[in-house]
Amino acid sequence: MVSSGGYVTTEDGIRLFFRTLGSGPQTVVIPNGMVLLDDFEHLAVNRTLIIYDLRNRGLSDRVDDGAKLERGIHNDVDDLEAIRRHFGLGRLDLVGHSYMGLMIVLYAMKYGGNAGRMVQVGPMEPYPGKQYPAHLTGVDDTLREVLAELAKLQAAREPEDQEERCRKVWSVLRLIYVTHPADAGRVDWGRCDLPNERGMMRYWTRTLLPSLHALKLTEEDFARVSAPVLILHGTRDRSAPYGGGREWALLLPDARLVTVEEAGHAPWIEAPKKVFGAIETFLDGRWPEAAEKVESLDPGAES
């Protein structure tokens, strides 16, 4: 399969590292998708995938100038447009996991004419920080235990080896992303050999998360998203509540939800055929059979 890599330079001079895979006529962009590549690469059989590291992440440039980070998620939106222009693409078909699921919708709100078919996988809720009823979240003993263990790691005096510290954090954190502990080894998202990733949590808590919590999206904002959106969400997602996936499907004009029962934040691990089958069908231009129009935040109200 054809593969290449390189850098895209943003308007403010930051280089973003990218990889392309495949040579098919349809181009699908996966922001922040390097850690997903092993699982998602088969999408490139009849397509071209573009996967890239966000600014200050992965193999993209380290950014020491705070002014080039302070816009947080809004930088990521504009950087996605830089990717589109660099490759001379028309409309972008997009796959966004976790908070990238939210970011690609922000992109459609700002650059509506450039957004094609969009897939949100376990997306962060449309109103970040919103509390949903317990049955619409994945909060459980595993989450509480992991958070307690992370607090201990943060409080403990650690050796100067930041790579080892990063690995310790991820050895604990990976447990919350899957339903069954036996699958935790399949979550290898730390990239702890890279300096940018070893500093990711500080960047997340100090810059990205505040920019997300500052969002005040309105009905008019959602109405600007004319592109079709497929949402895939696990009912036991501990990181991004299932209620958020349902709410996206309620708020966006042309969206449908595939519910993945008993799945976590990486639902393709628990249900690969269902998840990837739905994605393939949608990218080919059709709604998958499992995709539903959501009429209520609470699934019990629809029965």
167 lies in a domain? no
- 0.85 exceeded by pTM: yes
267 lies in a domain? yes
Which domain covers residue 9, as residue numbers? 3-137+202-302
Q: Kindly report, residue by residue over 156-192, the tens digit of the pLDDT.
A: 776 668 899 999 999 999 999 999 999 999 999 999 9
Between CA 293 and CA 258 the distance in angstroms is: 9
Query: Which two structure tokens, joined as six digits, stand for 245?
Result: 């996936």
154 lies in a domain? no
pLDDT (0 to 100) of residue 3? 81
What is the CB neighbour count within 10 angstroms for residue 116? 18
pLDDT (0 to 100) of residue 154? 82
Q: Which of 59, 76, 49, 48 lies closest to 16, judged by CA? A: 59
Number of domains forming the structure of the chain: 1
Kindly tell me the burial class for residue 67, based on how many C-beta atoms sit within 10 Å of its own C-beta (0-12, 13-18, 19 or more): exposed
Tell the residue number behind the tokens 């909060």, with chain if given: 139
30 lies in a domain? yes
269 lies in a domain? yes
Which amino acid would we find at residue 34?
M
234 lies in a domain? yes
Q: How far is CA 201 from CA 40, 53, 144, 177, 198, in A?
A: 25, 16, 19, 16, 8
pLDDT (0 to 100) of residue 158? 64
256 lies in a domain? yes
pLDDT (0 to 100) of residue 303? 54
| CATH code assigned at 228 | 3.40.50.1820
Rg for the chain, CA atoms, rounded: 18
pLDDT (0 to 100) of residue 35? 96
Which residue ranges of the chain lie beneath pLDDT 50? none
Between CA 256 and CA 270 the distance in angstroms is: 20
